[in-house]
Amino acid sequence: MSNPIYFYEIIGLSLVTFRLASILKEKHMELLGIGMPGGVEIFVIIFLLVGIILPLAAIIDIATSQFKDGTTKLIWLLVVIFAPFLGTLIYFAVGKGQKKPKRTFNLNSED
């Protein structure tokens, strides 16, 4: 027959060990200045990511595309570089329509 006091001692020791580990982790994170980001930090992270990723995608799209006019590519690059957020939004709304259509090849034609 098992002794119930022994079982409770094991559970108590496990809880104490778990609590000590969590306290040490909290103190270690406080010393390093690490913590979970709150609402404002998450907003700033998302804003910075959007402010970096979207302009970068626009610059890559402009650089790899052919435009109808030679100076249009340069103008769009300057707009996106000097006004990253607004320039990117304007480019994706207006500038994509100024590109040359991509050429398609039909390999099955008998020309």
**C-alpha angle with apex 93: 98 to 66, nearest 5 degrees?**
25
Contact 80, 62 (CB under 8 A): yes
* Token pair 């010393």 in the structure block, residue: 31
Predicted confidence at residue 45, as pLDDT, reads 78
The model's pTM: 0.55
Q: What is the pLDDT of residue 26?
A: 63
* Cα 44 to Cα 36: distance, rounded to the nearest angstrom: 14
Residue 73 neighbours by CB under 8 Å, 6+ apart: 62, 63, 65, 67
Radius of gyration of the chain (CA): 29
**Across residues 60-84, what is the average pLDDT?**
89
pLDDT at 79: 93
